[in-house]
Chain A
Amino acid sequence: MDISSWDGTLSSSDFCLAAHAFTEKWKRINPVLPPWSWVPRPKSPWLASHEEDHDEKSHKGNEEPNCLGKDEYIDNATLVQSYRQDVRYFDFHIVYSASYRVPVLYFRTYSSDGQPLLLEDIEKELPGNSTNVLMESKWTFITQEEHPYLNRPWYKLHPCGTSEWMKLLFLTDPSLGGSQGVPVELYLSSWISMVGQAVGLKVPLEMFNKRKE
């Protein structure tokens, strides 16, 4: 499909493709960083089932970066590193939204004793690119809502602006597809390069290498 008529969204099967491509690339490029994993949506809880029949309609990726030790090459200013001794843990989930037809970033943060941390505490330590256009509240804002599958409050980057800026991103970056149509495999890397900045998730530059390997 031609990019100019594309609305910036993704079907759930395309999300599946994109997620696998993204996971593979991440693992290949950053073997040291915690990997993303693909988790199928849990089956209806009341039905006992013996089959390994995974519902592949919507999925999530999971990352738990430890901000000390493993990530020495990560720039201090991006992934959270604390002045204090305690370690900050982040869990990131990428969940497909059927309503907005885009991926949505959910995250939670907690200290080493499992105590959940407040967004305000992290926000102080996020990178200083708050001038970045993404941070304008029109396109990105963080809310606390129920995780769609885990039934607990998680922080979420609201998806209502995602399709707009994804379209803009793909239109303005000539290396992203162009006349061949929307390169689904690049969707998630591009997407996470934007949303990652909002939450201090560092995405290695090699992820944006468009060469197909």
Chain B
Amino acid sequence: MDVEAMGREAQKYVWEGAIPLQIHLHESEVTTLPHPSPALVLAPRMGYLPLLLPLLKPHFSSTLPPGVDTIWFEYKGLPLKWHIPTGVLFDLLCAEQERPWNLTVHFRGYPGNILTPCEGEDSVKWSFINSLKEAAYIVNGNCKNVMNMSQSDQVELWHSVLNGNMETYQRVSSKLKLEKVGDQYVGKPNSNLLKSRTNTGETDTGGPVKTDKCFTLRDAVKALLPELFVEKTLIDEEIPRIELEEESRAPSDDESNTRNEEDVEEKQGENVECCCPSDDAETKLKLVRIQGIEPKLEIPFSWVVNNLMNPEHFLHICVFVKVPQAKPLPHDR
């Protein structure tokens, strides 16, 4: 199977991906006995938790106290950010990928000091379009294409996301002219790569770079989180980091090739027994998870971006990091 076909397979896999959820109503909102059983729901990876309201409301409505519904979710006490795709939340918060994923739902008592307000599907749609605009701005230097989408296109696009319809999504989103990322290469720090800022539409396979070294997923994570990769042999291997200004963004401004935005989310991993010396920083990076997969870090980054990004044109990379265990402090009295 050629690389293109593998890419399409990957996209299909991702679009059809779903997380089995076991959703429990918070006990403060249970007014009947016996307690309602948890709802079992398959939530699309590319979707968002508040969109599950139509599925959940009927299941719990008979037991809810009177009042207005403002749905929110929590996992082990952590209120979940509703504007983050379900799959990303799962990849990030559930290291062991428990299936079904046990969540608690609330219909009351929205924590407005912690979560931004969500008024149902419209809020989620707005957040999605807003992210898409941001991606468009980074890729094209303006959000015109998104802002000028016809009403019917916008509706169709949003519905394709709601329903997990990849073909429709790809058809409508192609009008936005958000170019796929071309193959990227890494040169020496003083290569033309740093100086040029290509226009939209140019792929950069014919770029000015002299070496064959492909820009891999590892290179990308390294660029975003350099502190995890402090290596002894910096001179030969170092990516041109000087131009990479933002830690939490892909080198989209500076490397002439990157087109899509990255959103790195980090979580503390547990300390792991390791036979490597503790100052070997390579071991700090425990895991990289994208769309539920742990891709080999050697994969060309352009492939990862083009095939594993979310519909709002952001690639979400979940990184698990080892932290040193805190030493118990001596008591002082």
Where the two chains meet, the residues of A that have a C-beta atom closer than 8 Å to any C-beta of B are: 7, 11-13, 44, 46-48, 55, 57-58, 98-101, 116, 143-146, 152-153, 160
Where the two chains meet, the residues of B that have a C-beta atom closer than 8 Å to any C-beta of A are: 81, 112-117, 130, 133-134, 137-138, 141, 143, 225, 227, 245-249, 253, 261, 266, 268, 321, 323-324
- A145 proximity list for chain B (CB < 8 A): 116
Q: In the bound complex, what is the Cα–Cα distance between A29 and B116 (angstroms)?
A: 36
Instruction: Give, as a whole number of angstroms, the nearest-CB distance from B324 to chain A.
Output: 7
Q: Is the CB of B245 within 8 A of A98?
A: yes
Q: In the bound complex, what is the Cα–Cα distance between A153 and B268 (angstroms)?
A: 23
Instruction: Give, as a whole number of angstroms, the nearest-CB distance from A212 to chain B.
Output: 28
A146-B116 contact in complex given A44-B227, A99-B137, A100-B134, C-beta closer than 8 Å = yes
Q: Is the CB of B247 within 8 A of A116?
A: no
**28 residue pairs A–B, Cβ–Cβ below 8 Å:** A11-B245, A44-B225, A46-B266, A46-B323, A47-B227, A47-B323, A48-B323, A57-B245, A57-B246, A57-B247, A98-B245, A98-B246, A99-B137, A99-B138, A99-B261, A100-B137, A116-B113, A143-B130, A144-B116, A144-B117, A152-B113, A153-B112, A153-B114, A153-B116, A153-B117, A160-B133, A160-B134, A160-B137
Q: In the bound complex, what is the Cα–Cα distance between A12 and B241 (angstroms)?
A: 15
CB closest chain-A residue, reference B81: A146
CB closest chain-A residue, reference B116: A153
- B134 proximity list for chain A (CB < 8 A): 99-100, 160
- B225 proximity list for chain A (CB < 8 A): 44
10 further A-B contacts with Cβ under 8 Å, apart from A46-B268, A153-B114, are A55-B247, A98-B248, A98-B253, A99-B138, A100-B137, A116-B113, A143-B130, A153-B112, A153-B117, A160-B143
Instruction: Give, as a whole number of angstroms, the nearest-CB distance from A118 to chain B.
Output: 10
- A143 proximity list for chain B (CB < 8 A): 130
- Across the A-B interface, the 8 shortest Cβ-Cβ residue pairs: A98-B246, A153-B116, A46-B323, A98-B249, A99-B134, A46-B268, A12-B245, A144-B116
Q: In the bound complex, what is the Cα–Cα distance between A57 and B223 (angstroms)?
A: 14
Q: In the bound complex, what is the Cα–Cα distance between A146 and B113 (angstroms)?
A: 10
Q: In the bound complex, what is the Cα–Cα distance between A49 and B177 (angstroms)?
A: 43
Q: Is the CB of B227 within 8 A of A153?
A: no
CB closest chain-B residue, reference A118: B112
Instruction: Give, as a whole number of angstroms, the nearest-CB distance from A53 to chain B.
Output: 10
Q: Is the CB of B323 within 8 A of A153?
A: no
CB closest chain-B residue, reference A7: B141
A57, A101, A153: which contacts B113 (Cβ < 8 A)? A153
Q: In the bound complex, what is the Cα–Cα distance between A153 and B113 (angstroms)?
A: 7
Q: In the bound complex, what is the Cα–Cα distance between A179 and B114 (angstroms)?
A: 48
Instruction: Give, as a whole number of angstroms, the nearest-CB distance from B197 to chain A.
Output: 12
CB closest chain-A residue, reference B147: A160
Q: Is the CB of B249 within 8 A of A44?
A: no
Instruction: Give, as a whole number of angstroms, the nearest-CB distance from A12 to chain B.
Output: 5
Q: Is the CB of A101 within 8 A of B253?
A: yes
Q: Is the CB of B137 within 8 A of A153?
A: no
A44-B266 contact in complex given A99-B137, A145-B116, A160-B137, C-beta closer than 8 Å = yes
Among A99, A100, A101, A152, which residue has the most Cβ atoms of chain B within 10 A? A99
Q: In the bound complex, what is the Cα–Cα distance between A2 and B146 (angstroms)?
A: 29
